[in-house]
Amino acid sequence: MEKKKTNSVTKFNKSKNGSKVRKIYSINDRLGRMLIVFFLILILLVFRIGWLQIVQGSELKESMYRQLTTSKTISPKRGTIYDSTGKALARSAQVDTVSIDPTKIVVEQENSNDIDEEKTKALKEKVAKAFSEIFDLDYEETLTKVSSDSTNVTIAKKVENDVIQELEAWMKENDIYSGINIDEDTKRYYPYDNLASNLIGFCGTDNQGLWGLELKWNDILTGTPGKVTSAQDAVQDLIPYEDETYIAPQNGNDITLTIDANIQAIAEKYLKQACEENNCEDGGNVIIMDPNTGDILAMATYPDYNLNNPFTLEVDGWEDMSSEEQNTLLQETWNNRAITSTYEPGSVFKIITAAAGLEEGIADADTAGVFSCDGHEKVSGITINCSDLSGHGKLSLRDALKYSCNPAFIQLGQKIGAATLYRYYDAFGFFNTTGFADIGDSGSSGERSGYFWNLNDVGSVELATMSFGQRFRVTPLQMVTAVAAIANDGVLMQPRIAKEITNTDTGAVTTIEPVEVRQVISKETSDTLLDMLETVVESGTGRYAQVKGYSIAGKTGTSEPDYTSGDDKYVASFAAITPVESPELVILVTLYGLDGEGSHSGSSVAGPVVSQILSEVLPYLEIPSTATSDDSGEETTTLSNVKNRTIAEAKKIIENQGFECETSGNSDDIVSEQMPVAGTELIEGSIVKLYTEDSDTRVSQTMPNLKGMTLSEAKAALKNKNLNIKYTGSGKVTSQSITAGSSVEEGTVVEVVLQQEIEE
């Protein structure tokens, strides 16, 4: 009988006694055990997956989000700086900062987490090329950044929205997001470029104040940054995240200045003209103040600079300078000389000596023969000259001020004495800074104080020279503040540059009130001194500062070089108060670095600048004028509007008005423009230029220097250039509205002031 086959394996093992024992293993048994192991592993795997998914799922999910969490700082908006009329002088706008994480700009190999070096290199080159084109950067430098091992590299700061949109469009088109970050930021703008630049100052790329009021008030303007924590995927899309936090930034405060942008612009215009025409080697400054409140209405410095591009100056040879030379020039140009530089005030300081003499009862205004002048004064063997070497003879104090007589003030100073004079210097604020920008504890405005001899070191010569304003130094702000006290019934006010601080988050407004420092002299002394200073402008050395229709009190100043210190330049200045009967403005014009070869006196150089500025500022402030007619003595006619008429018709109308007409068009052509514009008041014989659409080529001329010319000479010089004249006064030209040497369109009306010559 045949045996049935089975799936078995026979094995023989030795028994303990050495005999063989046969064991039979079934293949099905082995497979069963393998299946049991497999199912056990499967059960464990399912259990593990379930545990991770159900029990630990939420925790692991949050862990993943935390790995993708991004924390960004939200920059606060820096506060706006306004002028007193509400014009924004410095403001911030929303921009962005673009940065990258180069370690994330990579391409991985297929089916592997390893980096594909060749494709990654190509990607980085592509990104660098796009950045260099979009942000106008150097390609090689950008590629170095993109290829670096750093995890955070800034590509571009303060990027405008239109450029960001271009970047985002490129990222979408090329499907490249990983490693590119776009963060919100703010950028500082200065809408009026150079206006009040030396006062306002500027910020760095991090929106932190670096100079001027921006630095001084940085803590007030800056605010506090905010923060947002969120999660993003590889393409920077937000992922739901329970712990997302948002801390809002606290924006900076707005500050309203006492500065009036219109008055500031007028002051800067005539200051620049004066510095250029008189070759003021070291520039100049103008301060205009309301004596009743201490409000600074204008603080102009020349040269100035563009606040939107403060690290580059528009000067000849800038590109050829070394970095050290550029840095030195930048520091000098950025300085606000009105507060950071000191100067010898010269004869303007005689106001202070006169005030002390009047207040102490040592002198009165009009007692004749109190002082005498032979053209010089000898002090301890040293001869000190008067401006008039022939001498003024016997003088009252009014006459001494009117003629700016040095010997008379030396004699007055000797009567007062050094100790008493120093007491008044201190009372007028010359021994301390004014604190004009102290509305917070942030930074320093760079304001300096005056430099005087130690009282114990004041001998007879020092007493003599300081009596007429030389051989010590003060800041222009100290000087104008002291003069303002004379105008304010003898009360010294702290200069005020800020009126209000506004919390931009709550709208709360903090008013910076005017600060009365002290009563320096009596109202009686103030009134007497104002009357004397009005005489200076009416019939003394200050006549060039006259403004028709307004009463002006003032004093000239010409500080001579201190040759012992190597200085060979003059400083010309003029301080004025107006209207005398109820002062509303005090102005100080200071011009530095004048050569002794040319005109350099405060009377002839600084006086006309005061007249020009006040001639525009006083009407702007609607301060009433007593003028009733045109001082030119010539009748004027209002120029008609001839636009849209034929050339033939227009010429006939203009010539019938008593004017000359010039045009390059044909008689049948239509007038599209005229110069001067319709409504301009012109004297007989003025030139009117007519233009058509086919002949609208304007012609410019170089403005001639009219100063020192008679009226007929000035008229001829302007007519030769096809320019028109508007004039006031009589005598010789002391100022002109357009700077000599500048380009001016034919037909333009040039305003000039004529005055009788003043003996220096």
Q: Distance (Å, rounded) from C-alpha 744 to C-alpha 676?
A: 12
Q: Is 302 inside a domain boundary?
A: yes
H-only helix segments in 51-184: 57-67, 117-134, 139-146, 161-174
Q: 């030139």: which residue's tokens?
A: 687
Q: Is 3 inside a domain boundary?
A: no
- The pLDDT of residue 6: 47
Task: Find all residues with CB under 8 Å of 300, minimum gap 6, and list them.
Answer: 196, 198, 264, 267, 268, 271, 285, 286, 287
- The pLDDT of residue 1: 43
Shared domain for 46 and 186, answered yes or no, is: no
Q: Do residues 734 and 723 make contact, with C-beta atoms less than 8 angstroms apart?
A: no
Which parts of the chain register pLDDT below 70? 1-27, 51-53, 55-74, 227-246, 440-444, 563-566, 628-633, 759-760
Shared domain for 189 and 304, answered yes or no, is: no
Which residue among 562, 586, 620 closes a domain? 620
The enclosing domain of 437 has a CATH number of: 3.40.710.10
Shared domain for 557 and 416, answered yes or no, is: yes
Q: Distance (Å, rounded) from C-alpha 556 to C-alpha 401?
A: 10
The enclosing domain of 174 has a CATH number of: 3.90.1310.10
Q: Is 66 inside a domain boundary?
A: no
Q: 């192991």: which residue's tokens?
A: 37
Q: Is 631 inside a domain boundary?
A: no
Examine residue 303 and say whether the peptide bond preceding it is cis (omega within 30 degrees of 0). Answer: yes
Shared domain for 418 and 560, answered yes or no, is: yes
- The pLDDT of residue 65: 54
State whether residue 605 is helix, strand or coil: helix
Shared domain for 332 and 367, answered yes or no, is: yes
Shared domain for 320 and 206, answered yes or no, is: no
Shared domain for 18 and 103, answered yes or no, is: no
Shared domain for 429 and 560, answered yes or no, is: yes
By residue range, what is the domain housing residue 12? Answer: 8-55
Shared domain for 217 and 75, answered yes or no, is: yes
Which residue among 620, 644, 671 closes a domain? 620
Dihedral sign from CA coordinates of 342, 343, 344, 349:
negative
Q: What is the pLDDT of residues 84-132, one digit of tens each?
A: 999 999 999 888 889 988 888 888 887 777 788 888 889 989 999 999 9
pTM for this model (two decimals): 0.80
Shared domain for 279 and 190, answered yes or no, is: no
* Residue 529 phi, psi (nearest 5): -65, -40
Which residue among 558, 587, 620 closes a domain? 620
Domain count, the chain: 4
Distance from first CA to last CA of the chain, Å, rounded?
Answer: 158
Shared domain for 616 and 523, answered yes or no, is: yes
Q: Is 64 inside a domain boundary?
A: no
Tokens linked to 129: 């090329």
- The pLDDT of residue 227: 67
The enclosing domain of 742 has a CATH number of: 3.30.10.20
Shared domain for 376 and 522, answered yes or no, is: yes
Q: Is 630 inside a domain boundary?
A: no
Q: Is 174 inside a domain boundary?
A: yes
Q: Is 61 inside a domain boundary?
A: no
